[in-house]
Structure 1
């Protein structure tokens, strides 16, 4: 019930929305961003190809093999120090927002979040999603988790920007040619960044800055300084990982290399290429190439990616698998860690599956070491070896696809990953006796079997639509595989006969055929995803569906769910038919109203079902007015929650007109009775006899307010809807002058109203009298709570660390009275001394919350005209 008391004073309009341009722009946004990223990555790959023209693949392999154990040990040590520093980000963020969690839980969450964020870098596998999953189960509110994510992200970005700018000033003459920009402009940009940071430090002393009516508050100077030092330490340790792996002949000091490293990381982040892969390598190779053998530098960067990116992810999987063991998670000291591991395990396994799938693809286009090839030649038939090489790329692509299903906890994805990893393990031994590949796949299998109980969602993996970010990820892998192929075999002259050469010693034909197989299957996958049949249109529910949903409503505690009876929303039932949710479509948003109704297990499954169906239709899933009880399921599905307002709920056991705090309501009710008002509760079976009288009141109310009926979160006066529930009426001189339909359930846990309309002849104070009479009657009937509806945008955080969403919403709340009576609505409901409960808008991040809220407004108002016209 969204602000029902006065929401209907807005006029609605029938017909289609006029926001087609906005939907079209929203549709093109992600594909255009993906195309831009692919172009940047292709350009970077070509740049690396040109920079390494004098380098051979054999030289790089030899350089990797000659990496000393002492260098590897130092690199692992600095990696541990770097990740330890990164964990401090989360501890500081929790302290900054005034929340504390056990150190073990925070360390596991932060370590896993950074392991996934560094290794994958894609939306569904991001570190932010892991934090939402873990911290939401730990009892943190969505706005608190949002502040943690914002704190760690912004503090790192600010620190990185400053360090990069400081490094650019002395190194501009060397870096500028790589970016096709003059050194003067590069220094100018660096100085501007430093000046901007200095301004932020000054603002930090004041704690807030107001611009265009929006107040932005920053951390205080000590906190900013502390985070800056942590960022410097993190970059210093991660830089030392690469520096420890550089060849001994590298004639560069650590401070000079730290400047180059910071610039490479900063530009890699600015490029928006996941993980900065390729961009980072280009800067390092271009900077060190003139003074050091490029093959040795490239080998160092390969080992760096394995140690700093892949190793922590494997370690995180091992830690999570250990804590998933039943006898460990039952230990009281580790119970919290076990719960955290259960929340983040699917995302970790999905990330590792993605990385290992890419590894199988890359290994299929590279030659087998000669020693391994000689050993295989005497054991494995040529046909088996050739087939294993070709199939390895296909299995790798299969694992990349399965990774997305693992994040969504699909049982089919678990089986696909188990089968794919098992086959990949065997193929890695048959094609190259690749022990490292086989070991990594074995770790994945152990993790999958250790977390089997988490993958219980019976959904088809092949029904999942690969969205543009995932298609982009596959395209990036293919581009990278092409680059590796041409880099390895740049000295091999191409001829059509290569396709038909089958010999143990002929490596290029095997890699060429594997690349062809990868191209065919990935292209077919992209075409299938883009040209698959359109999802069926969202249509209002049928009478049979409404009746089925009404039976579920009556046996549960949420009276507002009676709005399913309006018939203007679609209904989605759980597979077992015991739960449902109601939703509508506006633009590219599928908007679910309220929580799903039904048993908890079925409700949680419906969240996933709804999100998947929306994505299948190419739309965003939105939950409008979600309750705190739904937040864990929302976080598991990869959505973020943004506070929408607060719902007023009156405890009827404490409702009593006696006492000073009820004096105003008591006086209003007494005056209304003296003026001749009386109330009557009309049971459902008695409503048909007064239906025309109610219609007259409703039509008079609409005409007086020059309004039309609304929908979605508000009911409309239709015969079927009004006749389905009891009604309270107010009579004046024998005539009905006001009414409201009463929404109740058989459990008597909750009651509410929807339509509340008055004729022009209703005496002043009729609204107060109606509510007082209704609440008194419901208390006598044994009802426990009365839902007064939501006060939009109220109760949002006003703390200095409040997220941007709360600040924008508070600005509308304070200055938006000309458009909506925000403060007046909350003030009226406050007269009944309710308990205020938060309600949320749940959707993916980025601009989606703003777009989703606009779509919900248009859906309620019946289109753009209904929103902007009075």
Structure 2
């Protein structure tokens, strides 16, 4: 019954909970307000561009930039990326790890080159760090702290540099924004004072705590070092753009402040690379100080120098690592395995450039040469096919991300074809250089694209389709900007002349738009997947042989027969999975030899996506995380799994006094332990059934499934069963999952009568552990404690902070702390378990569907 609010006051909500509740309540409106603000910013900037610019003036301004200025911009870019390598070095120091600077510099450069261009820096750059630093021996927790420390350091650097610029040049900034100088100067001073106060807190060191939330503070020297590195990075990056502007148009300190603001707004927008948003902020801020055509020309050159050039260099680094087959160290293999990720990003960028090239005219000199040496039909065909190839590369990039062999072939063929078309299309030399780099990189990376699939069966996510649609829309807008002075009429479409670039671009753009629409409709109207097939007797026998030959006890749940099985092509490995709604959930890591895992993961991801579903892997171990990251999934911590090292377990000593006394008390209470080997439970099955029925009735629960065993005769009799008798009557039992390698055993079903003595479960578990130790089993898996071990400090991801909150205050839903306390009695080792799933809302939807799979339906989730 609902509480009487007029009588029973609500308890005061702790500060973190109140903050979380407010953010959750207002998140939609805050996001909507920010989106509307950014949209208005873009519209205003676009209007300014459309009214004050001409395409010819922008091209002329970019081409008029002296070579010395371009070199200065490249040098400033190099200094910025050097500072970014120092980001990682100081972050590793904070995380308590030491690695060679050469490795740190290579990892940092590749990660930032990718994240600066593609965006989503924590995700794309994080995947690079997790693979390379992981191959160098760092643990996932250390790498997470490195990523978080970098993010905080970057934010602090932007804030401090921007604040210093405001204090120094408040008058100039106020003149551009129309705001009071004193207000801007005061805001800068407050920010700098806050930074100084933070440094003072760091000087004391220790751990900062607030109502269960804690964060280990860096030392003052490390914080100051990181602040200086951030200032160097932001200043150098700003200089890379500032030197491209007309000399004397805006003072450098003033420009740095606006640059920091533009970077911050671009990051908040979550637009890849801040494209459009970054430019919009600078156009609004500097539009009155710098001629618009020169400003836009400088922005275009900046994108090429600061974003495209490092991405191409990072790709060359990875391709070179891929080619070094003789030095097959784990680190080299890890670096080489990242090449499909960068090739996918580079292919997408090349596709965008080809589409842009298709809606912009060639130079007058190029047109004159084409008219002299090329037939008009060849020029028309090259222009049209170049745009279509650009669109195709946007879709092929998706297949490269999934390491499909057919995507590799398609990318190589399309790159070579477009390379040939560069000459008749407009003598596009720079375009030819980039296409040549793509073709060479693909040729040297062939062995990493080993996934077999049909290109036309590739499923595109809604996010990918939206990204392609956004690119096509932006290119269409660019077309109308470039040819805004052309009088559009019916006859324009059918003009075929060497200098008729507007009709040529219109025809190509219409084809691109129609093809995009066709691909989107084909995937949105995809047929519903057929029901999943349960394994037959032959499949279960094959799975049983694989389970017996490996060391993960939980793999025995495949023998329940309630999950579908996906076998590797070799037949020596499999994964078990089920489907609920649109969620395809694989339980645990694949079962079998490690070398077969990538194939199974990729096949499962493709199978789910081809059916319009969301692939996920439930309770995977940290050692296998790179396999899931390579498949384009993200990882979310679920909790921690407890395992007892049986070789060192004993009831002797002071630490085991409570367990020893508990066993002695249980024996005095008349409890006796009995071990039934696999196949020996038949004579007592009726008694076990009675215990199971009493346990289900006591808890008003039904049989579970998926990640838990169910009490079924055939399944129970295949397992060892541990029994506790009280005065000769069975009062409790547990079934065990044991591998043939004796590497691990795990508890499966665990049930007791309601009238069993209170010491029964402690006695049962202790005797199981001693029995398994006597049999030579290496470790005993006590199972996972959900949400255990979640980080609660400010640097932790929001997912873990929410989990920590639920673990500490969610006793009304589940006894998280009580479950951990019970398992702590046996002094286990704790290892994290993760969910690998797509991003966004997918993890919450997957976990909801997984709960329904375990409970046997949504109704049982609610009613137990």
TM-score interval, smaller chain: 0.7 to 0.9
CA displacement, residues 496-518 of structure 1 (integer Å, 9 cap, x when unaligned): 11111111122211111111111
Partner of 2:112: 114
Partner of 1:8: none
Segment drifting more, 424-433 vs 541-550: 541-550
CA distance in 2, matches of 1:612, 1:175: 52
- Select which of 72, 75, 86 maps to 1:74: 72
Partner of 1:238: 237
The 5 Å alignment of 1:21-36 reads none
Segment drifting more, 94-103 vs 590-599: 590-599
CA distance in 2, matches of 1:190, 1:857: 50
- Select which of 696, 711, 717 maps to 2:711: 717
Partner of 1:317: 315
CA displacement, residues 636-693 of structure 1 (integer Å, 9 cap, x when unaligned): 2233434433333334444455566555545544554454443333344443333222
The 5 Å alignment of 1:136-155 reads 136-155=134-153
| CA positional deviation for 1:173 | 4.9
| CA positional deviation for 1:545 | 4.4
- Select which of 333, 355, 358 maps to 1:361: 355
- In the alignment, is the contact (CA less than 8 A) between 1:122 and 1:469 conserved in 2? no
Partner of 1:387: 381
- In the alignment, is the contact (CA less than 8 A) between 1:582 and 1:593 conserved in 2? yes
Could you say what secondary structure the match of 2:588 adopts?
strand
CA distance in 1, matches of 2:793, 2:820: 20
CA distance in 2, matches of 1:271, 1:795: 32
Could you say what secondary structure the match of 1:338 adopts?
helix
- In the alignment, is the contact (CA less than 8 A) between 2:354 and 2:386 conserved in 1? yes
Could you say what secondary structure the match of 2:703 adopts?
coil
Is 2:269 the counterpart of 1:275?
no
The 5 Å alignment of 1:117-136 reads 117-121=115-119, 126-136=124-134
Segment drifting more, 112-121 vs 128-137: 128-137
- C-alpha RMSD of matched pairs (Å): 3.6
Partner of 1:21: none
Segment drifting more, 109-118 vs 269-278: 269-278
| CA positional deviation for 1:361 | 0.7
| CA positional deviation for 1:68 | 0.8
Partner of 1:507: 501
| CA positional deviation for 1:731 | 3.0
CA distance in 1, matches of 2:731, 2:279: 76
- In the alignment, is the contact (CA less than 8 A) between 2:636 and 2:836 conserved in 1? yes
Segment drifting more, 525-534 vs 415-424: 525-534
Segment drifting more, 65-74 vs 838-847: 838-847
Could you say what secondary structure the match of 1:505 adopts?
coil
Q: 1:170 to 1:458 in 2, by over 3 A?
A: farther
Number of residue-to-residue matches in the alignment: 834
| CA positional deviation for 1:111 | 0.8
Could you say what secondary structure the match of 2:441 adopts?
helix
Q: Given the two structures, how large is their TM-score scaled by the length of structure 1?
A: 0.86
Partner of 1:10: none
Q: 1:799 to 1:33 in 2, by over 3 A?
A: closer
Q: Given the two structures, how large is their TM-score scaled by the length of structure 2?
A: 0.87
Q: Which has the higher contact order (CA 8 A, sep 6+)?
A: 1
- In the alignment, is the contact (CA less than 8 A) between 2:625 and 2:635 conserved in 1? yes
CA displacement, residues 445-474 of structure 1 (integer Å, 9 cap, x when unaligned): 111122222221223333332223322321
CA distance in 2, matches of 1:864, 1:437: 55
CA distance in 1, matches of 2:862, 2:272: 41
Is 2:399 the counterpart of 1:405?
yes
Segment drifting more, 383-392 vs 504-513: 504-513
CA distance in 2, matches of 1:499, 1:548: 64
| CA positional deviation for 1:95 | 1.0
Give unpaired runs (5+ residues) of structure 1.
1-25
The 5 Å alignment of 1:17-56 reads 44=42, 47-48=45-46, 50-56=48-54
- In the alignment, is the contact (CA less than 8 A) between 2:354 and 2:390 conserved in 1? yes
Segment drifting more, 302-311 vs 734-743: 734-743
CA distance in 2, matches of 1:617, 1:224: 49
Q: 1:650 to 1:627 in 2, by over 3 A?
A: same
CA distance in 2, matches of 1:291, 1:837: 58
CA distance in 2, matches of 1:55, 1:826: 65
The 5 Å alignment of 1:176-187 reads 176=177
- Select which of 603, 614, 631 maps to 1:609: 603
CA distance in 1, matches of 2:36, 2:791: 40
- In the alignment, is the contact (CA less than 8 A) between 2:140 and 2:622 conserved in 1? no
Partner of 1:338: 332
Partner of 2:543: 549
Segment drifting more, 380-389 vs 114-123: 114-123
Partner of 2:10: none
- In the alignment, is the contact (CA less than 8 A) between 1:45 and 1:483 conserved in 2? no
Could you say what secondary structure the match of 2:681 adopts?
helix
CA distance in 2, matches of 1:45, 1:846: 27
Could you say what secondary structure the match of 1:329 adopts?
coil
CA distance in 1, matches of 2:835, 2:225: 34
Could you say what secondary structure the match of 1:378 adopts?
helix
Give unpaired runs (5+ residues) of structure 2.
1-23
CA displacement, residues 278-314 of structure 1 (integer Å, 9 cap, x when unaligned): 2332333344444443222222222111111111111
Partner of 1:566: 560
CA displacement, residues 401-447 of structure 1 (integer Å, 9 cap, x when unaligned): 12222222222221121111111111112211111111111111111
- Select which of 826, 836, 856 maps to 2:820: 826
Q: 1:763 to 1:153 in 2, by over 3 A?
A: closer
Is 2:220 the counterpart of 1:226?
no
| CA positional deviation for 1:715 | 1.9
CA distance in 2, matches of 1:799, 1:39: 31
- In the alignment, is the contact (CA less than 8 A) between 1:741 and 1:753 conserved in 2? yes
Q: 1:211 to 1:313 in 2, by over 3 A?
A: same
Q: 1:203 to 1:853 in 2, by over 3 A?
A: farther
Q: 1:497 to 1:104 in 2, by over 3 A?
A: same
Partner of 2:475: 481
Partner of 1:434: 428
